[in-house]
Structure 1
Amino acid sequence: MVNVGQKAPPFTLVDTELKMRSLDEFKGKKVVLSFFVAASSPVCTKEMCTFRDEWNEISKLGAHVIGISNDGPFANKAFAEAQHLNFPVLGDYKSKTIRDYDVLMPDLLHVKGYDAAKRSVFIVDEAGTVVYKWVSDNPLLEPNYQEIMDFLKKK
């Protein structure tokens, strides 16, 4: 289990252009890791579009957003293009990083073997430490965007 105050588990995941992207790329920067349940699902679309729409403000606060789901790069690419997402969307199709952050939701919608990420947000500081954590067991619940923005303003 990853908790506030711990080092963020490293990862290398595929992006929508089939390039491998890692958390190390963002060393020295604040990162908002947003684990989402499924590309193109209604609540995930709303969440990712909210981060897209807040991108300028998040950038001004010195932070970067990374979306992570267990969808493959092709589903994520279609989703990112359709929603004009302006940040990396990474596919954790083996759910390794999702497990490393302890946000695996097994058997989504009671479908045996259909695992997904719990909707969750981690903020990682410039030193690679988790400084904010929000995890929901309810895939329909969105994060508190204002709380995230307020937290970024304080840090």
Structure 2
Amino acid sequence: MTDNHRLEVGAPAPAFTLPDADGNEVSLADYRGRKVIVYFYPAASTPGCTKQACDFRDNLAELDGAGIDVVGISPDKPAKLAKFRDAEGLTFPLLSDPDRAVLTAYGAYGEKTMYGKTVHGVIRSTFLIDEQGRIALAQYNVRATGHVAKLRRDLSV
């Protein structure tokens, strides 16, 4: 791997405002006072990203019951996100970051190893941001499958 910028627990979460699948702007500030999981994924409608999104969808009631919202962010355009959301019945916001500015601010874009080669791309990452807008959990290079179950164990949800 490389020396990609990484966020530490306790650091302020980088603010963002991005369009959702319907083109409406969603800001991190909208979640102030609640915990929110912000997860970054490479591409809508791919097998791993679909599995991960559906795992979040299937665990949303338990997360919500624990006072935790979920937001997914990828470089996909809103139209692709809308198609993904509708195809998979996703009920949490999917945000579009085509210029990768937010991905980069969170350390979720940069050099990674894929199939033995070093490439630039989205680093599958998950963050729990607390009610005050600080990083409570930062996980990089997470696996698409089984990640939500592990996250629930880590958070005792």
Q: Distance in 2 between matches of 1:142 and 1:50?
A: 8
Residue type at the aligned position of 1:135: Y
Structure 2 match to 1:9: 14
Structure 1 match to 2:88: 83
Structure 1 or 2: more strand by fraction = 2
Structure 2 counterpart SS, 1:24: helix
User: Gapped runs of 5+ residues in structure 2?
Assistant: 1-5
User: Gapped runs of 5+ residues in structure 1?
Assistant: none
Give the alignment of 1:20-35 within 5 angstroms.
20-35=25-40
Pairwise CA distance, 1:153: 3.2
Structure 1 match to 2:128: 123
Residue type at the aligned position of 1:23: L
Give the alignment of 1:100-119 within 5 angstroms.
100-105=105-110, 116-119=121-124
Aligned residues: 149
Structure 2 counterpart SS, 1:21: strand
Alignment partner of 2:97 out of 92, 95, 99: 92
2:152 is aligned with 1:152? no
Please tell me whether the aligned partners of residues 73 and 97 of structure 2 are also in contact (alpha carbons under 8 angstroms). Answer: yes
Instruction: Summarize deviations over 1:43-95 as a string: whole Å, max 9, x none.
Output: 00000000000010010000000000011101111001100101000000110
TM-score, reference length from structure 2: 0.86
Q: Distance in 2 between matches of 1:105 and 1:52?
A: 27
Residue type at the aligned position of 1:90: L
Pairwise CA distance, 1:2: 1.3
